[in-house]
Structure 1
Amino acid sequence: MIAGEWAGRSLGERSVAYDNRDVILYALAVGATRDDLDLVFEDRLRVLPTFGLTLAQWAPDVLSDAGAFDHRSVHGSQVLDVQAPMPREGEILLAARVGNVWDKGTAAVFEVVVESDYFTATWAIFAPGAGGYGGERGPRAASAERAGEPRRLSLQTVPTQAALYRLTGDRHHIHIDPEASALIGQPIPILQGLCTISATTLPIAAALGAHPADLTHLAGRFAGPVVPGDTLDVDLWEGGAFEAKHGDDIVISAGEVVFE
C-alpha cells in the first residue's frame, strides 16, 4: 500500500484506565518536584494535560505495526489541544485515525490523530522512503509569531529521566539500551521527545505566572536529540512561541504554548 492510501483510515478505539499513581509518576517524570503538591500529592492533585499523550501513545504504534512505515521513521512533531481537565483517575475512551499523509519526495509525513472528550493529539511521523508516490506535499509548517526579544529560561533534565519516563508507556529501546540508540547514531540513550516538550511547559508556566495544568495548547517540532542530564535553554517570546536548545543546537523548534 502506498503511503497516501493510509489517509483517513481508522486506527481503532481504546478505553484506557489510569489512577492517581499514574498521574503522579508522570508529573515526576517530566520534572515536577516534591514541592509541587498539586502535581504529586493525591489530596490536591491536578492532572498535567500532557499526561494524555501517554494514554494515546498506542496509536502511532498501531500504524507502525500495520506496516505504514519502517524502523527509520521518527517522531517529527506534536500538537496537543485541550478541551477539558482530565479527572484524577478514571477511564477515557480514545479514538485514533490517520489524518493527512503528505508526500515530501524522499519521505512521507503521516499524521496520527487521537481524539477524546478531554483532548485532541496529533503526531506527525516522518517516514523516510515512503514518499515519491505523487501525492500532495502539504502546507508549509506555520510557527507562532515571535514578538520582541525572548526571555531565556533554563530546563535541567536528569540522568534517570528517560528511564523514569519509560514507566509512563514509551518503552522504545532507544531510550534505555545503548545498543539500540547506537543504531540511530546516538551512543547514549536519548530522552523521549514527548518528555522533553512536556517538561518545557513547567518552567514556561512558572515564568508566565500560570499553572502547568492550565495548558490549553502545545505544539513543537523535534529538531534534535536530548541526552538525559542535559541542561536546556528555553527561549520564550511574548504570545507563547518558544524554542529549546542544548548549547547551540536546537532540540525543540517552532514551539507554541497557551495557558488558560
Structure 2
Amino acid sequence: MKVFYSMKEALEYSSEHSFLLVYRHVFFPVYINYKGKENWLVFTPGACSRNKPMPIFQRSSYSEHVDANVISLFDPGLLLNKNLTNTWFSGTPARYFGDYISDLLKSFFKSVDIEGENVFLFGTSAGGLPAFKIAQKLKGATVWCGNIQTKAYKHSAFKKMLPVLYPNKIESEVVKEFSNRFDISKMDGDFKVYYFQNRSDEFHYKNHYKPFMDWYFSSNAKMKVVFSEYYDVESGHGSIGRLKEYEIIDKMLRKDFLYFNWIDCTHE
C-alpha cells in the first residue's frame, strides 16, 4: 500500500486505489474512486470484524453502483490492537483522529473546488461520530446515518478501547476531558442530517437515538436533522441491506426527500 501526504497527491497518482495518508504522525488508510462526478460520497466505518486482515474499506464495493466519486475511510485506531472493533476515530489523548481526517478532507475538497453541498457522508453504528465531525467542517454537507452511537461512552466497546488508546486514565476522566470526541451533540454545525433508527434495536433506540432527538428539539442547534424510524426485527442493529442502502444513496445524491414506504415514523 502506497503512502501519500495529501488526498490530492493520492488522486493524481491514480483515480482508484487504496493507500495510506500521513498526517501529524498518523497513518490513515483510505480508498478512493474518482469518476469525474460533481458529487462525493464518503463512507465512514461502523464496527469492524477482526476475522479479516486490516484495513477493511466498508461499502467500497458500492462504488460501482453509485453516481458519485467515492471515498471509504478506515479508523487508524483499529490498527493499534487486534481486539478493537471500533474506536470512533477518537485517537489518543494527544491526537484526535476524527479532527485530523476532517482537516484532510476539508483541505482536499477546497483544493479541487468542491463545495460542502456536494459532499455526502454515509455512516452506520460507529460511523456516525466521524461523519458528524467531518460534516462540522464542511458547510452545507449532508449526513445519512443509521443506528449510530451518539454517545460512544454508552457502548460496551468504549471500555475495551480505553486501556489501549487512553492508558492510565479512568473512564470518567476520559468522558469528561474528551467529551467533544464521543458526544455528537458537541459536533454541531451548518449541515443536514438524515438519522434513521430501527426501533427493534432497543439499545440504540433508548440510549442513543431518543436522548439525541430530545437534545436536538430542545436546543438551538445549527444542524438540521430529520429523524426517521422503522421496525425490522431481522436486521436489528445491522444493515438494512444493499438494495435499500443503494436507494437511500441515490435519493441523497439527487437531493431528493428521503422518505420510503418502509419508514413508519418521521420527526423534523
The TM-score with structure 1 as length reference comes to 0.29
> Between Structure 1 and Structure 2, which shows a larger proportion of helix residues?
2
Which protein is richer in strand relative to its size? 1
Name which structure has the greater RCO, CA cutoff 8 Å, separation 6+. Answer: 1
Scaled by the length of structure 2, what TM-score is found? 0.28
